[in-house]
Amino acid sequence: MSPRPIGLAALTVLELPHHEQVGVAAQAGYDCVGLRLVPVAGQRYEYPLDLPEVERRLADTGLRVFDVEVFRLEPETRVGDWQAVLELSARLKATQLLVHGADPDEARLTDSFGRLCDLAGRYGLAANLEPMPWVDVSSVAKALRILRGASRANGGLLVDAIHFFRAGDSLSALAEAPREYLRYAQFCDARAERPSDTQEIIRQARSDRLFPGDGGLDLVGLLRTLPAALPLSLEVPYGKPMPALERAKRALEATRRVLAQAAPDS
């Protein structure tokens, strides 16, 4: 595995069954793969998990599952309902969970995040809170408040490039975030212009991102602000029709070019 592991996020190839996502990630040259085991409202996923086939593909390719998504904390969330998914995540040897904070009551959200961390910790998993502009935890500052309030060793901050810049977060503020909160980041590019309409922000994020280097986000600045060896999960739901394998390969090739630009001696 490379000094900076690079994984294929589920959303990049969400039209494929889980086991084919593993196969594409391996063929394209990724170090690891992320799997969506908890559905997201508004994003249909038709395939049930074929666990024996996923495990066979992982064994055949030598690939590993890095993160599992999406754990959305809402007012009515009962964290214990996710125990079976956490057991499955541990069976697949994942180490990270992707979490969204969608509860306007910050005290309740902090409590539920803490309880998720406690449950995840029983399975050797870390819970990473991902700010998104259209949910209650919409910025790095809000995520840090939850993390500090919950005060769990396995709580983390997940920065996604498109959400980070769409939220208007600053690199200087991110540089001040505790390094222990940063376990991985999601990587992509997008048009430089921030849409004024929230639905358009959501549409671009879910189905119309760009390959790194093809848009207007300050990805070099972001990489230089994050820890040098931080794992990256490439989440690039590309807007134009393209075979999944080609999409995965192009995302990885483009990321490597941007990483070269961000290298200290470049």
Whole-number percent of the chain with pLDDT over 90: 94
**The pLDDT of residue 266:** 63
- What is the reported pLDDT for 265? 78
Query: What pLDDT is stored for residue 1 in this prediction?
Result: 43
The predicted pLDDT at position 212 comes to: 98
Q: What is the per-residue pLDDT for 59?
A: 98
Distance CA 46, CA 14 (A): 10
Q: How far is residue 72's CA from residue 39's CA, in Å, rounded to a whole number?
A: 10
What one-character DSSP code corresponds to residue 79? G
Torsion of the alpha carbons at 118, 121, 125 and 126, rounded to the nearest 10: 50
HSE (CB half, 13 Å, CA atoms) of 50? Answer: 14
What is the pLDDT at residue 45? 77
Q: How many residues does the chain have?
A: 266
- Residue 197 has φ and ψ, to the nearest 5°, of -95, 125
**Summary mean pLDDT of the chain:** 96
Torsion of CA 81, 84, 88, 93, to 10 degrees: 70
Extended beta strands in 19-79, E state: 32-36, 64-73
Give the amino acid at 41: A
Handedness of CA 134, 140, 146, 150 (dihedral sign): positive
Instruction: Give me 76's structure tokens.
Output: 């009515």
* Residue ranges of the chain with per-residue pLDDT less than 50: 1
Helix (H, G, I), strand (E, B) or coil at 211: coil
pLDDT value at residue 44: 73
Domains of the chain: 6-262 (3.20.20.150)
Question: What's the confidence (pLDDT) of residue 40?
Answer: 85
Residues 63 and 25: beta-carbon distance below 8 Å: yes
User: Sign of the CA dihedral 119, 148, 231, 16?
Assistant: positive
The dihedral built from the CA positions of residue 189, 5, 133 and 164, taken in this order, carries a sign that is: negative
DSSP for residue 131: -
CA atoms 251, 221, 151, 231: torsion sign: positive
Burial class (CB in 10 A: 0-12, 13-18, 19+), 78: exposed
Cis omega (within 30 of 0) for bond into 70? yes
Dihedral in degrees, nearest 10, Cα atoms 64, 66, 72, 77: 70
- The per-residue pLDDT for 2 is 55
Residue 158's contacts (CB-CB under 8 Å, 6 or more residues apart) are: 98, 99, 128, 129, 130, 183, 184, 185, 186
CB proximity list for 41: less than 8 A, separation 6 or greater = none
